[in-house]
Structure formats: structure tokens, C-alpha cells
Amino acid sequence: MALLQRNANASGPGFEDLPVETIIDILQYLDISTISSVSKVSKRLKKIIETNWVVTLRPIINREMTPIGPFLHVLAVCDSKVTPPLTKFHFAVSDEDVPSSGEQSASDDDDSTTGDEEEDDEASSSGDDDTDVETDVETDSDDDSPGNIDDALAIKIKSPGSGVDHLATGVLPDRWAEGLSYNTVMRVCRFIKAWEQEFHRLRFACPHHRRTLEHRELFRLRHAIYVWWRYACHFHDRACVLDGEDENADSPIARMDFVRQFSTSQLHELRDMWETIKSAVGREICPSIAAVRRKSGHVLSWAEAARVGWGDAVENSQVVRTMMKLRPEDILYLLVNRHRFATKASIIQFARFKNPWIEDSVETFSDSIQWAVWERERQLVAEYGPRALHRRWYFPPLGFYPRPWGGIVDYKKAETEQLRDVYSRDTGAGTHYWIDDHGGPRRYLARQAPTGRLVVSRGW
């Protein structure tokens, strides 16, 4: 930006006096935030950027907005007045798309500050049979090595199909900007960059864990936000028709088909992102009455805290899950500009304006992810027995987010981090494990989506 700030006392031409071709070449090496600032310097620079934005933004997007395929899907959703149908997903990320530079970001210093309790959290198992399985595993230590885990569990896991179109590649296609506008592309890019900045604060809320995300962690975060955005536009941003007849629009079948296209590794990344943001909404936007009292040091009475808090534990959980039906950009606006909403009524008015159907039901994204993971677990148990769900064979339980490791963030242990590769190959697995057990596809998720709620009871 120093080159762009023209000194009034300096003699000779400034940056904006350079030839157009030279300015375009320089702009391609900037980032999204700098491009926005440059466009405000002068009318000439603004016209050059808006006229040549396809050439200028292409290398910047290739550097900062990966994975490109899901990014283009989000652009299509944002540029369309009517949400396009979910005919092809192609959200699965190929191995070539994953950044390979850098080592694990979780340093030894961070590990030393977490203590033994964190080691126990990551090592804990999701079932009650952990003790028996632990005994079985100890008798055969060779099976605990990451190489044997990969050989044993990945041998029958279906690999992603080879017929992936150009949207799954790591760079923008030649005709990527057809039908798009400069303002739409810049709005999405600025929004993603804003989420990257805000997510640092939310994910590492504890001061002695605070750090910035590495390049590959930002890659996972962007992919999770793209998926969330896509899901919200198709399943949350309309009237709830979970019991309807249109299986291609909003039925449980469509929701589960959407989620199943992601691997187990990506499902854990999605859950990490979702739980981190959900906890922030419950902490900063819609805190419960008990949370308000704790924040005040229990100085406020229950009736006084009820003026600020959003119900008791049960009501607050329903309120937060209802608020999570908003689109990612709307939730980000509430988190960043919470000080502009003086009352609960103003937040409710904002939520209803952004999503007129927000109180039809609570969000179903978390349930879809949870059931997809259960399907994968049942498939592993059916093929390899109960020991397949042991902590050394499977990811840590989903309930341990947010933590300073796991999900989007690199895991602390090398053997756990290697499970990302093992569980990045089961895209589409588990498609037939829930229909018979849960009353068919019509009852699936429908009985788990209660009515949404933003107004809590006042009889305190």
C-alpha cells in the first residue's frame, strides 16, 4: 500500500499514473483486502479494477479462496436470485487440492500448556466398551501402528470416484466468471476473509492457546464454510417441508445425500466449525440466564438476568439452534456487530427479517452430520468388529469441540493426524444403515427437528 499512497510533495508519476497493463500486473500480486482499499484511492483505479476484475482476481482467488470447486458453487448460489437445485454436489476435495506445505501447527509448547486432562480428552472413547477393547489391543501392539491402521481400515473403504469435473481442481477454469459480477465475487471473498479473522478468536478463546490458523487449517475452514453456506441456502432458508413429497428439495433423503458426499475427515471438520460458532452464538448473542448470572458474578437475580438472558438451559438450547438457521454472513454480522443490538427484540427482528421461516424448525445441519458419522461407525463395526471404534482406530468423539486441536485444527498426536488420510476415502459410505432402523426416510430427521423458538417464556 505504500506504493499506492502518492506523496503530494513528490515529483514524477505516481502509481495511478502508470499504464493500465502495468497496474493490472501489480494488482494480481495483492490480496483481497488490499484490492478493496485500492479501489477507493481514485476513480481511475476503481474503473481499472472493475473493468478488468476477471483477470485481476483470478490469481488472487487461486491463492486465497481454495478449495476452488466449493467456492464456485457458493458464487453460483449468491449470484442467483433463486437457489439452484442440488443436482450435482462435487464438494469432495481431491488430494491435489489439499495444501502440502508446512508441518503440524500444534507446537510442543502448546501441548505442554494443555496438561494431562487434554491428553485424556483426546484419548477417550465414545463408548462404554473402551476397557475391553483396550485389553484386546494391548495384546497385539503391531496393529496400533499408523501403517497397519491404514492397511486394515482403508482396504475396503471406497475411494472417491475418478470422474471429478473441473470444479474439483485447484485452479479456476478459463471461463469461471461467466454470469458473475464483480460485486458478487468481492462480497463473497470479503466475507470469507472476515470469517477467517473472526474464527481465530472463537476457536482459540483460551488466552494460553491463542494463535493463528496455519495455511492448511485455513483451507479446511474455508471448505467447511462453503459447505455450511450451501446447506443453509438449500435447507434452512426456506419453509420446512421435512414431511413433504419433494425428495429433491428439502426431504431427509436430500439432506442426508448432501452430507454423505463428504468423507469422515471432512465431517469432523464441519462439526468442529459448527460447534465453535454455535458456542459463540450461545455465549455472545443469545446467552442463557444462567450464563448471564455467572458473567455478573451472581450479582444479578434470576429475574434481572432474564431481561438479558434467553431462557433456561432447555429454552436456550432451542433458541441457539434456531438462530443457527441463519446464513453464515448473517451470523457473522451478529457476532461482529453485537453492540448495535440493544435489546433481544432487535435481534429477533433481524433474524426474522433475514429468514422469514426461521421459527418453522431448528437447524438440521448438526443432526445430519451426527447421523452420517454414526452410519460410518456402524459400517466399520459391521466389517471389522467393535475394536474399529477404539480411540487408536477412530477419530476422537465429536463432543470434544471446540478444543485447541482436532477437526479443522491439526491433532496433537501424529497417529491421530494420520487418520485424516485414512478417513478421507469413505465418501458416500453408510447410505443404507438408517432406513430400516428408524422407520424409513420420512421419519428420519423429521422427528428430530422440533419447532424453532426465538421468544422465551417470561414467567420468572
Sorted by where each begins, the domain ranges of the chain are 1-6+15-64, 122-156+183-460
Classify 157 as helix, strand or coil.
coil
Nearest to 338 by CA among 328, 329, 347: 347
Q: How many CB atoms lie within 10 A of CB 238?
A: 15
Residue 159 scores a pLDDT above 70 = no
What does the CA dihedral 258, 370, 413, 192 come to, rounded to 10 degrees?
A: 50
Question: Which of 235-239, 372-376, 383-387 is most confident?
Answer: 372-376
H or E element that contains 69: helix 68-79
276 vs 157, which has greater pLDDT? Answer: 276
CA distance 259 to 428: 9
CA distance 361 to 356: 12
Q: Determine the pLDDT at residue 242.
A: 46
**Half-sphere exposure in the Cβ direction for 148 (13 Å, CA):** 10
From residue 51, give the alpha-carbon distance in Å to each of 16, 34, 59, 131, 189: 15, 17, 16, 65, 18
Query: Would you put residue 456 in left (φ > 0), alpha (ψ -120 to 50) or beta?
Result: beta
CA distance 109 to 259: 36
What does the pLDDT look like over 234-258, one tens digit per residue? Answer: 888 876 554 444 445 567 778 888 9
Q: Determine the pLDDT at residue 432.
A: 63
Q: The pTM is what?
A: 0.80
